[in-house]
Structures are given as structure tokens and as C-alpha cells.
């Protein structure tokens, strides 16, 4: 990708500029390294018009044609893996190894949905009337507005666009204004693959302008959003104006429960991964560690040593294990929560500061932070911080662990570690969360549904459930004995 050129939007099969631009920052050094055109509500309206014009052709295309197109896109993503990964690392800050994994997941997502859409779909019913054959089919919804966050730029775009296009819908897509670069490159791949004009449209800009127009536009049939719960509520209100179909993947404050019968070193390894992977900028991060009292102190001592040894560096640097936060604004938010934790009386075990020495001076780096002795009503326990900040709580009984885990408005993810598989299964079934693990944390698969309970969202992404989110259910009744109904004399 040529960063010397201003990144353009893609509307109706054409690359489009605007009157305004936005500077894109490398969070590792705080420097501008790219510019993109900033869109407006009018660009959304033009995208909707182009999408509506393309819908009839794309929705009527054979599943073989649509599948071949998605397979071609997947191949091109794979062919350009290194470039796409470097773009996300420069733009988001995450280590390159993480970005390479995100690209691989994106390839898998497009291939999964390409392979799914020619499989059996719908239902056939034997109803009370022997002369009626009743069937149910699934049809595309229409124009879908899709809004993605900055923490997994390419992967979140793939999670939304692959099932949307596979089902025969058309898209008006808005990436985060902080991390739009891999989306621009993805739309270049769409063009190279020969995706028909108007099927997928890229409208870039801020949430309060471009995002709001997507939410409120009466000609958009569905809005799919991944991001913060406050924004999710606003989208719900806007969607009510024309009864839009919505799917929302929102925040989390997910528990990681460790019982004393599980290997200590292994549990520490997973606990670190649960919270510090991707700098903690993960909706499903294991940001609440709930430890059995018999291992509490020993676990914390070892955890703090391991956390302090994490290699923090520019994401492009060889061996980097944790990079910077995405922006100065987000850095300040995370640091304010750390100060809140101190004021609330939580015990700071390690970290708790911005790293500024040497080459870190202008970047947005925060040391891995662990707070112990946390109480249920603390803000660092209840609020989604979305950074490398772990709140640790203590439990004695199994029921106490469950109660602590469920004591939040969120219900996205959870993990349980125990060698007693019966206990582990009982606990994980009792935890109110949509994505759960036993003796692991974070693995994600294109085949399995992703989404949460309570204020963590509505609907599911990935798997067959993710495809269903982009379809309408239609009932068709066929009269096998045509003739008059004879209802009226």
C-alpha cells in the first residue's frame, strides 16, 4: 500500500475522494504516517444508492458465483498476507505476529462462508392440510450498514463482510476512523477479484457523522456493529425509526476462574494470554481473574513476575509480545482507570504506568498492570477498560466463584480452569456468558458462533448463526390441489 497517496473511499465501484482528510497515526511513535479522505453523510447516501442498484443482480446470482467470488477474495488476502499484516501493525500497534494471525483468520472466514452457502438451507413441513406443502427459505435482507472497531481492523471487516456477501446482501461498510487502512487495501482486493460495482461500498469517517447516517438512514435494512455498549444503545435507538434489523457485538468484562487443583504455571500462562493478548484491547479479554483463596498469594507473586517480563515494543520489532495502545485518547482513558483503581483501594501488584523512556517516549505504551484485592463494586471490576489492566478477586467456594463471575452487566466471555471436568462444566454452564472456554482462553473459530449475553450485545457472528443474521426467513405454502376455496356462498 502506498502511504504517500491519500486513502480513498470506494463507492459504486469507483474510488472517491472528499473535501476533508484525516491523519493516521502510528501508535508506536505517535507520528503521522498516512492520510485518508474523510467522508460525510452524503457519501453514505451515495453508497446506499449504489448498493440498492447492485442488490437485484447480486442477490439473484447463483451461489456458485458468489462462492467463487469469496474464494477468490480469500486467495488474494492470503497472497497479500504480509502486506496486510504490516498495515494493521503500523495502524493499530499490535505485534506483527498478532496481525499475521488476524490475516489468517480473515482468510479462513471468507473460505468458510464461501463453502457454506451451497449447503442445505431452509426447512420443509408436513402440515395438517395434506394438500398443502409448507416450506421455509432464507433470503438476503438487502442493504447492510456495517461498522467495525479499531482493535482487529482486517479481521472484524472479514467477520462482517464475508457472511453478508455470501448471503446475497450488499454492504455500506465503515471501518474505525482510527484504523481504516487495511479496509482500503481489502476493497482494492475486492476490485481486483472482480466484485460487481456497488456490492460492497467503503464510506470512511467519524462515528458521529458517517456512523450516525448509517444507523439512521431509512434505506439501510440492517445495521451490524461491533464496538462500545454506549454506541450500541444509540444504534438501537436510531434503528427503531424504520425497524432495522440489528446485530450488536458490544463490550465485556469477562471472568477467568482458576481453581486450586489446576497446574499453577499453566494457569498463569493462560491468565496472561487472556488479558495481555493484543494489549488487552479485546472485547472478550479475561480482565477479571477470580482465584481460589488457597492459591491466591502464590499465584499473584508468580503472575506479577511473568507480567513484568513481557517484551513490550514497537509491533514491527522482532520478538515484540505486546505493543502500544491504539491512540493517545485511549491511552489517557486507560491511565485514568489505573488511577481510579489506586484511589478505590485496590492493591497495585505490578505495572500501573505509561512507559516513556528511550524509544517509547512518543508512543502510547502502558506496562502490564495487575490490581489485587479487588472488591465487586470497584470501577476497575465493573467497567470495560479495554487495555492491559487486570483486576484480581478471591473466592473460597464454587458458588462464590460463580456469583463473582456473574456480578457484572456484561456477559460476553468466560474461562474456567480445573482438573475436575465435572466441576468445570457445572461452573461454565452457570456463568452467564456467550463465549466460554474450559482450561483455555481466547481460541476463536470461524465455525463457532461469537456473541454475548446481557449488555454484551444482540445476535451472533461466525458459524451458521452468523450467516442466519444476514437472512430473512420466508414461509412459502404451496397448494397441491388447486381450486376454489368456497369460503363465501
Helix axes 63-79, 181-193, angle to 10 degrees: 130
Answer yes or no: 249 catalytic: yes
H helix or E strand, kind and range, residue 477: strand 471-479
DSSP at 448: S
| First-to-last C-alpha distance (Å) of the chain | 74
Residues 166, 467 contacting (CB under 8 angstroms): yes
DSSP at 279: G
Residues 346, 380 contacting (CB under 8 angstroms): yes
Sign of CA dihedral 373, 379, 381, 385: negative
Report how far Cα 258 is from the mean position of its chain's Cα atoms.
26
Residues 183, 1 contacting (CB under 8 angstroms): no
Closest CA to 70 of 152, 146, 161: 161
DSSP at 383: S
Measured CA to CA, the distance from residue 440 to residue 414 in angstroms comes to 10
Which listed residue (249, 281, 384, 469) is catalytic?
249
Q: What is the dihedral of CA 432, 307, 277, 185, to 10 degrees?
A: 150
Residues 11, 203 contacting (CB under 8 angstroms): yes
Sign of CA dihedral 334, 337, 341, 343: positive
Answer yes or no: 374 catalytic: no
Which listed residue (283, 374, 384, 461) is catalytic?
283
Neighbours of 333 (CB within 10 A): 14
Residues 297, 286 contacting (CB under 8 angstroms): no
The order of strands in the sheet holding 123-126 is 123-126, 132-140, 471-479
Measured CA to CA, the distance from residue 39 to residue 174 in angstroms comes to 10
Measured CA to CA, the distance from residue 98 to residue 106 in angstroms comes to 12
Measured CA to CA, the distance from residue 257 to residue 427 in angstroms comes to 9
How many helices, marked H, and strands, marked E, lie in the chain? 15, 22
**CB burial readout 246-264, b (16+ within 10 A) else e:** bbbbbbbbbbbbbbbebee
Widest CA span in the chain: 93
Helix (H, G, I), strand (E, B) or coil at 219: coil
What is the phi/psi pair of residue 188, to 5°? Answer: -65, -40
What is the phi/psi pair of residue 447, to 5°? Answer: -80, -15
Active site positions, annotated: 249, 283
Amino acid at each position: 500500500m502506498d502511504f504517500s497517496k491519500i486513502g480513498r473511499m470506494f463507492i459504486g465501484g469507483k474510488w472517491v475522494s472528499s473535501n476533508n482528510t484525516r491523519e493516521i497515526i502510528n501508535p508506536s511513535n505517535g507520528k503521522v504516517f498516512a492520510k485518508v479522505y474523510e467522508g460525510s453523510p452524503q457519501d453514505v447516501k451515495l453508497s446506499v444508492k449504489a448498493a440498492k442498484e447492485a442488490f437485484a443482480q447480486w442477490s439473484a446470482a447463483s451461489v456458485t458465483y458468489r462462492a467463487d467470488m469469496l474464494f477468490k477474495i480469500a486467495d488474494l488476502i492470503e497472497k497479500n498476507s504480509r502486506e496486510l499484516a504490516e498495515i494493521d501493525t503500523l495502524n493499530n500497534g499490535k505485534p506483527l505476529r498478532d496481525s499475521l494471525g488476524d490475516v489468517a483468520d480473515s482468510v479462513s472466514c471468507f473460505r468458510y462462508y464461501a463453502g457454506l452457502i451451497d449447503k442445505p438451507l431452509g426447512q420443509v413441513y408436513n402440515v395438517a392440510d395434506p394438500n398443502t406443502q409448507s416450506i421455509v427459505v432464507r433470503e438476503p435482507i438487502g442493504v447492510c450498514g456495517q461498522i467495525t472497531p479499531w482493535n482487529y481492523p482486517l479481521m472484524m471487516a472479514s467477520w462482517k463482510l464475508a457472511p453478508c456477501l455470501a448471503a446475497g446482501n450488499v454492504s455500506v461498510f465503515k471501518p474505525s476512523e482510527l484504523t481504516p487502512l487495511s479496509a482500503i487495501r481489502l476493497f482494492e482486493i475486492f476490485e481486483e477479484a472482480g466484485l460487481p460495482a456497488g456490492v460492497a461500498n467503503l464510506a470512511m469517517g467519524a462515528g458521529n457523522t458517517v456512523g450516525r447516517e448509517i444507523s439512521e438512514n431509512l434505506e439501510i435494512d440492517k445495521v451490524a456493529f461491533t464496538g462500545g455498549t454506549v454506541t450500541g444503545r444509540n444504534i438501537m435507538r436510531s434503528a427503531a425509526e424504520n425497524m432495522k434489523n440489528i446485530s450488536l457485538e458490544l463490550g465485556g468484562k469477562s471472568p477467568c476462574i482458576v481453581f486450586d487443583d489446576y497446574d499453577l504455571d499453566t494457569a498463569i500462562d493462560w491468565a496472561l494470554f487472556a488479558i495481555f493478548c493484543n494489549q488487552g484491547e479485546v472485547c472478550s479479554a479475561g480482565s477479571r481473574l477470580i482465584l481460589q483463596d488457597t492459591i491466591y498469594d502464590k499465584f499473584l507473586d508468580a503472575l506479577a513476575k511473568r507480567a513484568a517480563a513481557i517484551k513490550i515494543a514497537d509491533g514491527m520489532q522482532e520478538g515484540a509480545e505486546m505493543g502500544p495502545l491504539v491512540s493517545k485518547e485511549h491511552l489517557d482513558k486507560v491511565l485514568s482507570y489505573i488511577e481510579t483503581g489506586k484511589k478505590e483501594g485496590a492493591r497495585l501488584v505490578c505495572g500501573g504506568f505509561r512507559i516513556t523512556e528511550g524509544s517509547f517516549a512518543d508512543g502510547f505504551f502502558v506496562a502490564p498492570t495487575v490490581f489485587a484485592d479487588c472488591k465487586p463494586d470497584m470501577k476497575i471490576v465493573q467497567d470495560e477498560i479495554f487495555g492491559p489492566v487486570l483486576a484480581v478477586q478471591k473466592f473460597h467456594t464454587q458458588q462464590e466463584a460463580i456469583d463473582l463471575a456473574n456480578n457484572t452487566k456484561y456477559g460476553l466471555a468466560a474461562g474456567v480452569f480445573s482438573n475436575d471436568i465435572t466441576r468445570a462444566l457445572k461452573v461454565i454452564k452457570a456463568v452467564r456468558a456467550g463465549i466460554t472456554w474450559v482450561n483455555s482462553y481466547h481460541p476463536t473459530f470461524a465455525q463457532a458462533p461469537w456473541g454475548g449475553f446481557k449488555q454484551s450485545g444482540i445476535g451472533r457472528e461466525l458459524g451458521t448463526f452468523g450467516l442466519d443474521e444476514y437472512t430473512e426467513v420466508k414461509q412459502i405454502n404451496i397448494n397441491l390441489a388447486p381450486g376454489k376455496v368456497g369460503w363465501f356462498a
